Amino acid sequence: MNGAYSAPPEIARWQQRALIVGAVFTLLFAVGAILDRRQFFHSYLVAYLFWTGIALGSLAILLLQHLTGGAWGLVIRRVLEAATRTIPLMALLFIPIIIGAYQIYPWTHHERITKTPALEEKARLYLNLRFFSGRAALYFALWILLAYLLSKWSLDQDNTADRRFAKNMRMVSAPGLLLFVLTVTFASVDWAMSLNPEWFSTIYGLLFVIAWALSALAFAIAVTSFLTNREPMSRIVRPNHFQDLGKLMLAFVMLWAYFAFSQFLIVWSGNLPEEIQWYLPRLRGGWGAIAVSVVFFHFAFPFLLLLSASLKRNARKLVMLAGLILVMRLIDLFWMIAPEFPPDRFHVSWMDVVAPIAVGGLWFAVFAWQLRKRPLIPINDPQYDSVLAEAQAPAHAEH
């Protein structure tokens, strides 16, 4: 590792603290498994999908950056690469979902599926545990392969300064991005939409694709903002980089809102019993209050703030907004998943709070470990010289 570009020592402290927090909350969460096994798996699914979304969303942004180029991607590349190298951990953490499938998915209940001919046909051809597990293994194999190739070629480029590795990453990114969208669409159907196997939406998969990309971008902005005040990132990152990241975040926020509203509008205008039944419980009582908060704090508030160029150039303000979006992503995911589980009323368990911290502590410890393994700046990237020259130019705006 190039010592001049190595991660600051604070990253090691991040890793240690995250591991401790993850271990403590995992033990606490394990107590929940003893007290209420069904609630344990319900809370685990929400936490798992949230942190998996950051890992996989990082892969999506990495593929996009290699396709489009730009200084914004160079300054967050190592953060994204470290996040994608946590995908094997998420593959391992998928095992509890297979173990708890009977507590999570209604299509595993033979007595229920036999009552509905259409559901029985789905279960026979697609929604069965063996095929479900095999598809998950295929998804993870493809995601891990993409992450491995991008990460390996990036390191090879650092070591050799050979431009062909940049070309390799660009060439694999176009089919890789298409493959990513397809696999995430199928994964979202398998892991989330099949919680209600009698309901379907053609926009559901795209909603997960953009939501996970937004989660990953908000996370990358938060980490990069912290690193910007320390060497070596303080020599590279400038306000215009955060402005570009803010513009991309604005685009993702609007795209997420477009998909979410399009799904709602199509389902609601159709007003068919088999379609509207997904929204009815989510718009009443406590779930309705959460829906309103998501509209305001996941879309309206971030949208208005991100219209400001000065806010996007201010790392401190932008990271606060990124933190809000991450919180709202978890709340939105909870709103999408939890109403499918009994009791048939608004309910928040203490395990719904503990689970994201437990899984997140373990995930972040692995992320920090991976972030420390490589220089924070891809110094032999073809765009490095132009980014460095831009960073050394006199700044006209306050960082």
Residue 112, domain member (yes or no): no
pLDDT of 70 higher than 70: yes
Residue 122, domain member (yes or no): no
- Residue 334, Cβ density class (10 Å: 0-12 exposed, 13-18 middle, ≥19 buried): buried
What lies within 8 Å, CB to CB, of 52 at 6+ separation is 90, 212
Q: Which single residue is written with the structure tokens 């990513």?
A: 180
Residue 229, domain member (yes or no): yes
Residue 256, domain member (yes or no): yes
pLDDT at 130: 93
Report, as an integer, the average pLDDT of 367-389.
82
Name the phi and psi angles at 269, rounded to 5. -70, -35
pLDDT of 190 higher than 90: yes
DSSP structure class, residue 295 = I
pLDDT at 398: 43
Number of domains in the chain: 1
pLDDT of 214 higher than 80: yes
Q: CA dihedral defined by 206, 209, 213, 215, rounded to 10 degrees?
A: 100
pLDDT at 390: 66
pLDDT of 383 higher than 90: no
> What is the rounded CA–CA span in Å between residue 129 and residue 135?
10
- Per-residue pLDDT of 77-130, as tens digits, reads 999 999 999 999 999 999 999 999 999 999 998 777 777 776 777 777 888 999
pLDDT of 397 higher than 60: no
- Percent over 70 (pLDDT), the chain: 95
Report, as an integer, the average pLDDT of 277-302.
95
Range in 104-108, 206-210, 385-389 the model is least confident about = 385-389
Q: Mean pLDDT of all residues in the chain? A: 91
Residue 108, domain member (yes or no): no
Report, as an integer, the average pLDDT of 362-377.
94
Half-sphere exposure of 368 (CA within 13 A, CB side): 19
Residue 121, domain member (yes or no): no
Domain range for 188 is 3-98+128-392
Residue 376, domain member (yes or no): yes
Amino acid letter at 294? V
> What is the rounded CA–CA span in Å between residue 210 and residue 256?
6
Q: Quote the tokens at residue 7.
A: 């991660």
Positive or negative torsion for Cα 49, 51, 55, 60: positive
pLDDT band at 27 (very low <50, low <70, confident <90, very high): very high
> What is the rounded CA–CA span in Å between residue 368 and residue 10?
10
- Residue 388, Cβ density class (10 Å: 0-12 exposed, 13-18 middle, ≥19 buried): middle
What lies within 8 Å, CB to CB, of 190 at 6+ separation is 132, 135, 136
Residue 397, domain member (yes or no): no
